[in-house]
Structure 1
Amino acid sequence: MIRETPQEFLDILKSYVPDPNRPVGLARQEFSEFLTEFQSDERPETEAVAIREDLRGVWCSVAGGVPDRTLLFFHGGFFSVGSTADHLGFCAELARATRSRVFSVDYRLAPEHPFPAAAEDALEAYRFLAKHGYPPHRIIPVGISAGGTLVIDLLLSLREQHLLMPPAAVCLSPVVDLSSGRDIAKKGRESDWLTLARLAAIRTQYLAYSDPEDPRASPVHANLSGLPRLYIQAGSGELMYDDISAFAGKAKWAGVQVRFEIWEGMFHFWQIFGKQVPEARDALARVGIFARETFER
């Protein structure tokens, strides 16, 4: 589980960080090509459905999946890039590891749709599943990077609206603090491909004029009581490791059952790079164990 991170591959990742000054369409195309190149070559069977006129979900299935097990998946991409299409290899591995069907959401992206549009879409997707016969106790929300933030946003919205919760949720390298208060603590961390400059750009693009300490933008500031079981993964080399650790600690103090795993030397979003990083496959295997344990309770 603990191996040395290849510096050469980390340098490649740093060269692919989306440039906020490039045209949005071009940045999304380049990021999509980059993700597709480095993740698993496996592709699931897919079926796209309309959640709403401007919101799409994609069913991703592999052989051996249990029909009544649903992972509600939110992709990564810094809230401004990324899609189901460029996470299909990851969705296939996720479905196989958990023996479930994955329902991936193409939520609205910034800057065209700034905060809280993506958070609203997460709740809409959950409501869609419930409306179409997928009971909450057979759903596990899963998100990576920005998608991990949306998982937490979803849980907070469900609690506030007194709706039935899923039994558990999975957050992989979630972005839990977009306020600027912790930036000084992050300086000097060279073991990640996410930079302070990129984090500042995310704040600008995604938040626009919203309060960065809004609990849905920065869940570390939220009241976390009443949330279901959380499984959280973070790499010790992540720029946001301190934030994720603080969030996990706060959730525990609020009475939430938290399984927090620290992956030594890993960088942000490492779980998706299954072709280059052995720890990515190990991490998904651990997600599979957690999900199967939850569904079999």
Structure 2
Amino acid sequence: MNNKQAEEVLNVINKSISLSQGNIFQLRKDFEQLYLKFSSKHELNVKIQNVSDIPGFKICAENAQDDHIILFFHGGSFTAGSTKDHLDLCGKLSRESGFCVFSIDYRLAPEHKFPDAVEDCLMSYLWLLKNGIEASQIIIAGISAGGTLALSTLLSLRDNEVELPRAAVCMSPLVDMLFEGHSMVTNKGKDWITQERLEKSRRIYLKGNSLTQPLASPIYADLHGLPPLMIQVGSHELLLDDIIKFYEKAVDSNVEVTFELWKDMFHSFQIFSSCIEEGQNATRNAGKYIKHMLSL
């Protein structure tokens, strides 16, 4: 790895979290402590706005407008993560775009299985529509598993003939639960997630459901009719080849895609933007993209 900042952060991550050991509940605590360790200190206005039984949070940076909304889905391999440990990223997206973020804590496995998380994300979008936010005023954004859920939500909305949001931003999404991309081999040791961890999370989340079910693996879906997408991925990600394959399929399906490949970056590097310049720039680009799309 040539990027010194990324290498140092990767070393801290590998020392801080036991990705292959311990139970899922300890893993959640490890994730939270790790992400909070890299969080910046921001002045944010955070308001609880639950969607039925789903915890929801409206997050606004200073001077952010709330007439347009970024609907955000956190990462964590469908088994961990929360708005709390992604608050820094939400705040930066709000600051860079000038709009408020609405983040939900969707149901996690193993307590809940697929497609419960998808249903929660879909419900949160419908809730925004019901509360006066128009589809054209919404951008869906997500990172890692949240990026997958962003795509799953788009597919669900399209198939149910619900008006689609203006666009979506997907950071390091899991798009193929088969994990067959060659980068699973070539990037081994360059990323902080492992094949073992991916397979374990897949097993816990899907619990016997088909690995190629489109709402779990969006790469197997018909992508026609989706709104514009921004996709960000690091060149050192295990999931790199899967994401590139999805991007190519989306383009072939006449979906407008803004694709960013970040050299030497690992999975979900935007979370660590307080220490990695590329993470700052990628988050800034996402904010600019959101601002541009919502101004059309």
Alignment TM class, shorter chain as reference: over 0.9
Matched residues, number:
294
Alpha-carbon offset, residue 206 of structure 1 = 0.9
Alpha-carbon offset, residue 243 of structure 1 = 0.5
**Within 5 A, what are the aligned runs for 1:141-180?**
141-180=140-179
Counterpart in the other structure of 2:9: 9
Structure 1's 192 and 20: CA in aligned 2 closer, same or farther, altered over 3 A? closer
**Contact 1:17–1:194 (CA<8 Å) still a contact in 2?**
no
Alpha-carbon offset, residue 26 of structure 1 = 2.4
- Provide the C-alpha distance between the structure 2 equivalents of 1:159 and 1:18, rounded to a whole number of angstroms: 39
- Provide the C-alpha distance between the structure 2 equivalents of 1:150 and 1:66, rounded to a whole number of angstroms: 25
- 3-state SS of paired residue (2:233): strand
**Contact 2:171–2:232 (CA<8 Å) still a contact in 1?**
yes
Moved more, 134-143 or 14-23: 14-23
Question: What's the CA shift string for 1:30-55, capped at 9, x where partnerless?
Answer: 211110001222252111122122x1
Counterpart in the other structure of 2:101: 102
- Provide the C-alpha distance between the structure 2 equivalents of 1:208 and 1:16, rounded to a whole number of angstroms: 28
**Within 5 A, what are the aligned runs for 1:69-84?**
69-84=68-83
**Within 5 A, what are the aligned runs for 1:204-219?**
204-219=203-218
**Within 5 A, what are the aligned runs for 1:33-112?**
33-53=33-53, 55-112=54-111
- Provide the C-alpha distance between the structure 1 equivalents of 2:17 and 2:213, rounded to a whole number of angstroms: 26
Question: What's the CA shift string for 1:108-148, capped at 9, x where partnerless?
Answer: 00111111111111100000100111111000000000000
Query: What is the percent sequence identity of the aligned residues?
Result: 38
**Contact 1:43–1:88 (CA<8 Å) still a contact in 2?**
no
**Contact 1:183–1:196 (CA<8 Å) still a contact in 2?**
no
Counterpart in the other structure of 1:22: 22
- Provide the C-alpha distance between the structure 1 equivalents of 2:16 and 2:168, rounded to a whole number of angstroms: 29
Question: Is 2:207 aligned against 1:203?
Answer: no
Structure 1's 4 and 253: CA in aligned 2 closer, same or farther, altered over 3 A? farther
Counterpart in the other structure of 2:185: 187
**Contact 1:44–1:91 (CA<8 Å) still a contact in 2?**
no
- Provide the C-alpha distance between the structure 2 equivalents of 1:50 and 1:272, rounded to a whole number of angstroms: 24
Alpha-carbon offset, residue 56 of structure 1 = 1.4
* Structure 1: stretches of 5+ with no match in the other structure: none
- Provide the C-alpha distance between the structure 2 equivalents of 1:139 and 1:183, rounded to a whole number of angstroms: 32
Alpha-carbon offset, residue 15 of structure 1 = 3.1
Question: What's the CA shift string for 1:155-213, capped at 9, x where partnerless?
Answer: 00011000000111100111111124x15551141211111111111111111111111
Counterpart in the other structure of 2:285: 286
- Provide the C-alpha distance between the structure 2 equivalents of 1:210 and 1:184, rounded to a whole number of angstroms: 24
- 3-state SS of paired residue (1:51): coil
* TM-score where L is the length of structure 2: 0.95
Structure 1's 22 and 43: CA in aligned 2 closer, same or farther, altered over 3 A? farther
- 3-state SS of paired residue (2:249): helix
* Structure 2: stretches of 5+ with no match in the other structure: none
**Contact 1:17–1:193 (CA<8 Å) still a contact in 2?**
no
- Provide the C-alpha distance between the structure 1 equivalents of 2:267 and 2:218, rounded to a whole number of angstroms: 18
RMSD: 1.6
- 3-state SS of paired residue (2:260): strand
Q: Which amino acid aligns with 1:187?
A: V
Moved more, 186-195 or 264-273: 186-195
Alpha-carbon offset, residue 74 of structure 1 = 0.3
- 3-state SS of paired residue (2:103): strand
